[in-house]
Amino acid sequence: MSARPTFHGIFRGGVFIASMALGGCTLAPRYEQPVAPVQPQYEHTDVASAAVPVAQVAGEIGWKEFFPDPELQALLARALVNNRDLRIATLNVEAARAQYRIQRAELMPAIDAQGSSTNARVPASLSQTGESELGRTYSAGFGVSAFELDLFGRVRSLRRAALEDYFRLEETRTAAQLVLVSEVANAWLTLIADRQLLALARETHDSQRKSYDLTKLRFDSGVSSEIDLHRSETSWREAEVDIAQQTRRVAQDRNALALLVGEPLPPEVADGARPFEAQTFAKTLPAGLPAELLVRRPDVRAAEHALKAANADIGAARAAFFPSIELTGFYGQASNDLSALFQSGHTAWSFTPQVHLPIFSGGANLAGLDLANVRKRIEIAHYEQSIQIAFREVADALVTRSTLDDQLRAQEALTRASDLGYKLADTRYRGGVDSYLSALIAQRDFYTAQRQLIVTRLAGAVNLVQLYTTLGGGWKE
C-alpha cells in the first residue's frame, strides 16, 4: 500500500525549503567603501597641540565637557528635549525602525486564522439532476497566503536596504543634534556679544551727553565754536541710534535662541554676567587626519549608509530576473453543514506552490536594474561630496583658528592705544589746547576699536564651537 502524502509531510518539506531559502545569499554586489577624495592631511594643523592627548579627539569630548558654563549647559539640555527639528528627526528614526521591522517580517510566513462560508445556487439548466441546487460549504483553520521563498535574496536585499535606511536616519538625527548644540551655543554667544555692544553704546551715549553739556557750556561762554557744538550733538545722537539698533538686535537674538531651545527664555539669560573672557571652552582640539572624519562625522556616516542601501537595492533588482516561488496553504476543518464542521472526519488541507518565471516584461526588469545602478552612482557622489564638505569645513575652521589669536592680540593692543589717544585728546580739549575735532576723532576711533574687540572675541568663540562641531564633537550626553 503506497503512502499517501499528508499535510504535515508537505508542510515539513515546505519549511525545509524555506529554511534553505533563508540561509541563501543575495545578488547584491560586494560593498566597497569609496576612496576619500581629499588630501591626506590638513593645512594649518599647528593648532592641534600635543597638550591634549591624542585619544581625546573632538568626537570623544562631550558637550558638557566642552561647554562648562552652567547656563549654557541648561540651555543645551532644554534644547535637546524641546527643539522641534530634533524631535522630527527622532520620530523619523522611529518610523524607519518600524519600516525595517515590517520589511524583516517578509522573511517569515504570516499564519492567519481563517474562516469562510461559501453559498452557491446552481440553476436547473446546469444541474446534473435537472433541478436547481443550493450548496453551502463551511471551513475554519489556519492558512499561509503567498509566502515568497527568498531563493535569490530579493526580500533579504530589501530588508538590508530598509536597515541601512534606518541607520542613515539615525545618523541624520545625530547630525541634527550636533548642529543643534552648535547653533544654541552660537546663538547664546551672539546674545552675549550684542548685550555687550548695547552696554557699550549706552556707556558711550552717557559719555557723549556729558561731552555735549560741556561743549554747550563752553559755547555759551564763548570758548567753543558753534560747529564744535553741532559735532558734539552729532556724536550724542549717533550713540542714541546705536542704542536703538542694539536693543533691537538683542531682542531678535533672544527670539532666535528661544526658537532653538523650544520654549520661552527667562529674562536673565545671557545678561552679561559671564562675558567672553569668562568662558572656558576647550582651547585645544587635535584635528587628526581627514580619514578620521569618516567615523567621527554623523553626516558622512549617514551618506555611507545611504550608499549601502542603494547597493542592496541592486541585489533586489537583480533577483527580479530569476524565478520566484510563492507558497499558499490551509489546514483545518471543512463541511457542508455548519453544525458538523468540527466533528471528526472533516479535516481538510491544501498546499499550493506557485512558480513565477519572468519571460517578457517590456524591459521593466532591465530598466529597474539600470535605475538601481544609477542610484548607487548618485549615492557614491553624495558620499564623496559629504567628505569634501566635511574636509572643507574643518580646513576653514583651522585656517580661521590659526589667524584669530593674532588678530585678537592686535585688536586688544589697538583698543588700548585708542583708549590712551582718546584720553589724551579729551584732556587737551578740556584744557583748551586742542580743538574738539581732535577729541571727536579720537573718541570715535576708541568706540570703533571697542566694538571691533567684542566682535573679534565673538568670532574666536564661534570658531572654537565650529571647530569642535566640524571635527565631530557635540553628540555625546
Give the pLDDT confidence score for residue 474 in this predicted structure: 66
Looking at the domain assignment, is residue 128 inside a domain? no
* Cα–Cα distance, 251 to 116 (Å, whole number): 69
What pLDDT, in 10s, does the model give residues 100-149?
A: 888 888 777 888 888 888 888 878 777 777 777 787 887 888 888 877 88
Q: Are residues 15 and 97 in the same domain?
A: no
Q: What is the CATH number of the domain that holds 1?
A: 2.20.200.10
Q: Are residues 81 and 112 in the same domain?
A: no
3-state SS, 342-358, equals CCCCCEEEEEEEEEECC
Give the pLDDT confidence score for residue 429 in this predicted structure: 72
In sign, the C-alpha dihedral spanning 289, 290, 295, 296 is positive
Q: Tell me the pairing of strands 133-149 and 111-122.
A: antiparallel
Q: Are residues 189 and 199 in the same domain?
A: yes
**Residue 364 pLDDT more than 50?**
yes
In this prediction, residues 283-292 reach a mean pLDDT of 65
What pLDDT, in 10s, does the model give residues 82-103?
A: 999 889 988 989 998 898 888 8
User: Which residues are bridge partners to 314 per DSSP?
Assistant: none
In this prediction, residues 179-192 reach a mean pLDDT of 91
SS3 131: coil
In sign, the C-alpha dihedral spanning 271, 273, 278, 284 is negative
Q: Are residues 225 and 353 in the same domain?
A: no
User: Which residues are bridge partners to 134 per DSSP?
Assistant: 121
Is 233 exposed, middle or buried, given 0-12, 13-18 or 19+ CB atoms closer than 10 A?
middle
How would residue 161 be classed by pLDDT, with cut points 50, 70 and 90? Answer: very high
Most confident region among 193-207, 228-242, 289-303 by mean pLDDT = 193-207
* Cα–Cα distance, 29 to 297 (Å, whole number): 26
SS3 117: strand
User: Which residue type is seen at 400?
Assistant: T
Which among 312, 332, 357 is the end of a domain? 357
Give the H or E element holding residue 147.
Answer: strand 133-149
Q: Are residues 265 and 334 in the same domain?
A: no
Yes or no: say if 339 and 321 are a contact pair by the CB < 8 Å rule: no
Yes or no: say if 293 and 388 are a contact pair by the CB < 8 Å rule: no
Looking at the domain assignment, is residue 3 inside a domain? yes
Yes or no: say if 188 and 253 are a contact pair by the CB < 8 Å rule: no
Q: Are residues 15 and 116 in the same domain?
A: yes
The percent of residues above 70 in pLDDT, for the chain, comes to 86
Q: Are residues 331 and 422 in the same domain?
A: no
Give the H or E element holding residue 429.
Answer: helix 364-430
In this prediction, residues 335-359 reach a mean pLDDT of 79
SS3 457: helix
Q: What is the CATH number of the domain that holds 57?
A: 1.20.1600.10
Comparing 240 with 276, the larger pLDDT belongs to 240
Give the pLDDT confidence score for residue 282 in this predicted structure: 56
Q: Residue 391 has which C-alpha cell?
A: 574636509
Backbone angles phi, psi at 279, to 5 degrees: -75, 145
How would residue 286 be classed by pLDDT, with cut points 50, 70 and 90? Answer: low
**Residue 291 pLDDT more than 60?**
yes
Q: Are residues 278 and 238 in the same domain?
A: yes
User: Which residue type is seen at 7?
Assistant: F
Q: Are residues 24 and 40 in the same domain?
A: no
Give the pLDDT confidence score for residue 288 in this predicted structure: 65
Looking at the domain assignment, is residue 238 inside a domain? yes
Looking at the domain assignment, is residue 1 inside a domain? yes
Q: Residue 90 has which C-alpha cell?
A: 527622532
Yes or no: say if 271 and 191 are a contact pair by the CB < 8 Å rule: no
Looking at the domain assignment, is residue 178 inside a domain? yes
How would residue 257 be classed by pLDDT, with cut points 50, 70 and 90? Answer: very high
Asked which of 15-19, 51-55, 323-327 is least confident by mean pLDDT, the reply is 51-55
How many domains, in total, are found in the chain?
2
Comparing 309 with 362, the larger pLDDT belongs to 309
Task: Beginning with the edge strand found earlier in the chain, give each strand of the sheet holding 133-149 in spatial order.
Answer: 111-122, 133-149, 324-335, 347-356
Give the pLDDT confidence score for residue 44 in this predicted structure: 59
Most confident region among 49-53, 220-224, 410-414 by mean pLDDT = 410-414
* Cα–Cα distance, 315 to 25 (Å, whole number): 10
Q: Residue 351 has which C-alpha cell?
A: 498546499
Q: Side-chain half-sphere of 196: how many Cα atoms within 13 Å? A: 23
Cα end-to-end distance, the chain, whole Å: 73
**If you average pLDDT over every residue of the chain, what do you get?**
81
* Cα–Cα distance, 86 to 470 (Å, whole number): 18
* Cα–Cα distance, 428 to 363 (Å, whole number): 92
Comparing 435 with 103, the larger pLDDT belongs to 103
Looking at the domain assignment, is residue 477 inside a domain? no
Give the pLDDT confidence score for residue 295 in this predicted structure: 76
Range of the domain at 224: 35-107+152-320+367-470
* Cα–Cα distance, 384 to 393 (Å, whole number): 14
Q: Residue 262 has which C-alpha cell?
A: 523650544
Asked which of 141-145, 265-269, 283-287, 399-403 is least confident by mean pLDDT, the reply is 283-287
SS3 394: helix
Q: Are residues 248 and 142 in the same domain?
A: no
* Cα–Cα distance, 292 to 272 (Å, whole number): 38
In this prediction, residues 312-324 reach a mean pLDDT of 90
* Cα–Cα distance, 308 to 306 (Å, whole number): 5
Angle (nearest 5°) at CA 159 between 305 and 13: 150
Q: Under 8 Å CB-to-CB from 198, ≥6 apart: which residues?
A: 243, 246, 247, 249, 250
Asked which of 137-141, 177-181, 403-407, 464-468 is least confident by mean pLDDT, the reply is 137-141
Looking at the domain assignment, is residue 126 inside a domain? no
**Residue 53 pLDDT more than 50?**
no
Is 137 exposed, middle or buried, given 0-12, 13-18 or 19+ CB atoms closer than 10 A?
middle
Comparing 50 with 57, the larger pLDDT belongs to 57
In this prediction, residues 23-50 reach a mean pLDDT of 72
How would residue 373 be classed by pLDDT, with cut points 50, 70 and 90? Answer: very high
Q: Are residues 334 and 452 in the same domain?
A: no
Nearest to 135 by CA among 123, 143, 150, 149: 123
Total-model pTM: 0.79
Yes or no: say if 159 and 100 are a contact pair by the CB < 8 Å rule: yes
Count of CB atoms situated within 10 Å of the CB of 26: 21
How would residue 5 be classed by pLDDT, with cut points 50, 70 and 90? Answer: very low
Q: Are residues 24 and 42 in the same domain?
A: no
Yes or no: say if 239 and 208 are a contact pair by the CB < 8 Å rule: yes
Looking at the domain assignment, is residue 430 inside a domain? yes
Q: What distance lies between CA 2 and its chain's CA centroid?
A: 67
Q: Residue 350 has which C-alpha cell?
A: 491544501
Comparing 15 with 422, the larger pLDDT belongs to 422
